[in-house]
Amino acid sequence: MGEAGIGTNEEFHRRRRPNKRWCTLLRGDSFKMEAQVLDIPIEDRRTEEEDAQEVAPLRFAISSYGADYTVDGLVKRIREGSVYIPPFQRGFVWDIKDASRFIESLLLGLPVPSIFLAKEPDTGKLLVVDGQQRLLSLRNFYDGIWEPTRREFSLKGVDPNYEGRSYKGLRDEDRRRLDDAILHVTVFKQDEPSEDQSSVYQVFERLNSGGKKLTPQEIRSAVHHSGGMREMLQCLNRNEEWRSIYGQEEDARMRDQELILRALAFYYDADKYKSPLVSFLNGFMGRHKDLDKGQSDDMARVFSNTIHVIYGSIGASAFRPTRVLNAAVFDSVMVGLARRLDRGPITDGAVFKSAYDALMIDQAFLDACGRGTAGEERVKTRIELATAAFAGVP
């Protein structure tokens, strides 16, 4: 056996377990992920016109209604979890004066912006699409603790009648006025297409377009905040060999997780691919958001075994035909090699490396990994070339 000691996906699970943490998490344990913003150079070359097409005009059947909630009713629902703030958040960005002025507006009876909630079809819970800062401010005020500092939340920079007052410190009539203040809420639910919640994705993207724009994977993680796929991507992203290739620090913009999703989506559904890529990935994650153990084990096996072969034979420079990690090279090499591993173990790592090196100078392959990488023909071409390159590796 060559330096790749490289087995099939089944054999790998028996002999090698680099993803023990993944297995633990799927049993229900939770991990805290402390990610830092990392500027990992990733080459995903699409023209500006093609980037615009990634936000494709889609048609949805949406049910929506407006509702007026009292402030204390909303806070109660947040505490119970029936109104759910998704865990993709980049942190609470309002300072205490921002939060205080919002609460002051309610005390003064001034109008405030509406809140957008999406109704989850499976649980009936309401996902906060827009209004997180306002709702967290209210919850913190009612709890009496300013969460960022863990100190008492007393109003700052407001009318002297309210300055320095906590919720419990408000006059009785002011507390009743705040409790009974009305927040208008728009609740919507996607009826069609039914396979994913892509309309929620679209609303997230549009509502965040004025500030620091969310990446597609951040939005997917928010929309599918519960379920096995989201957790599995987080855990596979901690694979030590993958981290050695991508970079040790996890990408706070979730581009590393999106690459894993991309490889899995093309491995399982390449024959169903239709551009734009963003919609393809949305649909795949939506259809698989609730993985059973068999599906989870299979996806983890595919990714872990494939990345093990790559790292064992190519090392940390994998997927870099130049100096940067090329996303199109990544997805096609991963799919091509995973298909080869489905037939059995690779017994000669040197032969695999030679096939990989030859692919990296194949002009047809490089063209398919250059501009227009999300185009259907480009995707088909590069995956077919990578599959053929590794098919004969012993």
**299: amino acid identity, one letter:** M
Do both 286 and 145 map to the same domain? no
pLDDT of residue 124: 86
Residue 57 has pLDDT above 50, yes or no: no
pLDDT of residue 127: 85
Q: At which of 145, 176, 192 does a domain end?
A: 192
pLDDT of residue 162: 97
pLDDT tens per residue, range 114-131:
999 988 877 888 988 889
Q: How confident is the model at residue 145 (pLDDT cuts 50, 70, 90)?
A: very high
Do both 76 and 176 map to the same domain? yes
Closest CA to 320 of 312, 191, 20, 328: 328
Does residue 208 sit within a domain?
no
pLDDT of residue 228: 82
- Domain coverage including residue 323: 9-57+219-391
pLDDT of residue 205: 64
Per-residue DSSP letters for 174-223? HHHHHHH-EEEEEEEEEEES-SS-HHHHHHHHHHTTTSSPPPHHHHHHHH
- Higher pLDDT among residues 354 and 10, named by residue: 354
pLDDT tens per residue, range 16-44:
333 333 333 332 222 222 333 334 566 66
Do both 106 and 252 map to the same domain? no
Residue 219 has pLDDT above 60, yes or no: yes
pLDDT of residue 20: 33
- Higher pLDDT among residues 6 and 72, named by residue: 72
Residue 14 has pLDDT above 60, yes or no: no
Do both 24 and 124 map to the same domain? no
| Inter-CA distances, 209 with 65, 282, 385, 392, Å | 24, 18, 38, 47
Task: For residue 77, give the 3-state DSSP assignment.
Answer: helix
Distance CA 113, CA 348 (A): 63
pLDDT of residue 270: 97
Residue 307 has pLDDT above 80, yes or no: yes
Does residue 49 sit within a domain?
yes
Do both 287 and 166 map to the same domain? no
Which range is least confidently modeled, 34-38, 153-157, 211-215, 267-271?
A: 34-38
Phi, psi dihedrals of residue 313, rounded to the nearest 5°? -100, -35
Do both 180 and 262 map to the same domain? no
Do both 317 and 291 map to the same domain? yes
Distance CA 394, CA 55 (A): 42
As for how many domains the chain has, the answer is 2
Do both 387 and 249 map to the same domain? yes
Do both 129 and 28 map to the same domain? no
Do both 247 and 100 map to the same domain? no
Do both 250 and 101 map to the same domain? no
Compute the average pLDDT of residues 325-336.
Answer: 97
Do both 79 and 46 map to the same domain? no
Q: How confident is the model at residue 191 (pLDDT cuts 50, 70, 90)?
A: low
